[in-house]
Amino acid sequence: MLFISIMIVACFWVVQPFILGFAWASMVVIATWPLMIKIQGLLWSRRSLAVLAMTILLILVFIIPIAMLVNSLVENGSLLLAWLTSGKLQMPELHWLRDIPLVGRKLHSAWHKLVAGGGSAIITQVQPYIGRTTGFFFAQAGHFGRFMLHIGLMLLFSVLLYWRGEQVGHGIRHFAFRLASCRGDAAVLLAAQAIRAVALGVVVTALVQGVLGGIGLAISGIPYAAILTVLMILSCLVQLGPLIVLVPEIVWLYWSGDTTWGTVLLIWSCVVGTLDNVLRPMLIRMGADLPMILILSGVIGGLVAFGMIGLFIGPVVLAVSYRLVSVWVHESPPPEENAQAVVEELAEVEAKTHQQKP
């Protein structure tokens, strides 16, 4: 047993650099496997052509947009901070603050000082509160090389899993059946449902809303649209929605006098903001509905634990665990029924004991 334990630890030590990439690839392949089967049917049942088509699809739809967004975040982050601190940021006077009872004059005086100092004064005031958070996110995005390495591994493992998907799935189910018989096989199927639910119902919805919102920002002439697109994807992943980013941009367009593009972005934002109400239920049907707090914890915890790749892996880990624990708990009757049965059994034993006494 000691020798086997040492060998298991050694194996995990050897494959440690590939674990995150393989986990990411497994999530992508499980979520898109039905699509790959349909494409294979359209391509004369040739698995090689279907794998090639799915690889090209992953590169065009998934890998290139994520790589461009992260690269833009790294390149433009310092430029955005430099623009905010350059003094070119003009803020409205807000004279109506004086009319607020009791605190109006103090609020207007503090606001006037910020306006007089420009963007640098605002950054100075806000920096103690957001400095660490901003530094953390830019540090995570700064690991661009490591993130691209995981993307490359994910693409490689995805190709291998697409090519031998049936054999891999059969091997996993066989191993689970060897561990826990029918319960192990059921656990594998439940885990696949949870992965598909998160991948399609959460991640894909967030990417679609974020990319469409970013297209609207770019067309409307909003500066630093790529960074705002990244923020929209993050806000959609944590279930806050894209409007938390789009609404300030609409207000900025109207305030700057560009009412035409402001109206266009307003209409586009209404479409993007309500898209999840249609898209998420449609995609999540093949999985299981999950609590929002679970998704939120998975996104934030995954980001802290694994970096940018944790945005996708974190919710999946919690979702699989939640589904398995939930099914295991509901296998037994509720505690009230158990307690009532025990009480009745004890009452019968006590009655029989009294009857047997002389």
Residue 44 CA, distance from chain mean position: 35
For the beta carbon of residue 106, count every other beta carbon within 10 angstroms. 11
- Judge whether 284 and 193 are in contact, CB under 8 Å: no
Q: Which long-range contacts (CB under 8 A, 24 or more apart) does 88-95 make?
A: 88/118, 88/119, 89/118, 89/119, 89/122, 90/118, 91/115, 91/122, 92/255
Which helix (H) or strand (E) segment holds residue 240: the answer is none
SS3 string, 175-199, reads HHHHHHHHHHHHHHHHHHHHHHHHH
| 3 state DSSP class of 229 | helix
pLDDT in single tens digits along all 358 residues of the chain: 999 999 999 999 999 989 888 988 988 898 889 889 999 999 999 999 999 999 998 888 777 766 666 666 666 655 665 655 555 555 566 666 667 777 677 777 777 666 665 555 555 555 554 445 455 555 555 556 677 788 888 899 999 999 999 999 999 999 989 988 888 888 888 888 778 777 777 777 888 888 899 899 989 888 878 778 877 887 887 777 898 889 888 888 888 888 888 899 999 999 998 888 777 767 665 555 667 777 778 877 887 787 666 767 788 788 888 878 887 888 766 666 566 666 677 677 666 666 665 5
Q: For residue 18, how many C-alpha atoms fall within 13 Å in the half-sphere facing its CB?
A: 12
Helices (H) and strands (E) in the chain, counts: 14, 0
Phi, psi of 287 (to 5 degrees): -120, -145
Spans of all domains in the chain: 31-71
- Judge whether 316 and 198 are in contact, CB under 8 Å: yes
Nearest-angstrom CA–CA distance, 312 and 303: 9
Nearest-angstrom CA–CA distance, 152 and 353: 73
Q: The pTM is what?
A: 0.67
Tokens of 43: 């391509």
Among 144, 258, 283, smallest CA distance to 205 is for: 283
For the beta carbon of residue 87, count every other beta carbon within 10 angstroms. 12
Residue environment code for 36-59, b if the CB has 16+ CB neighbours within 10 A, otherwise e: beebbeeeeeeeeebbebbbeebe
Tokens of 335: 């505690």
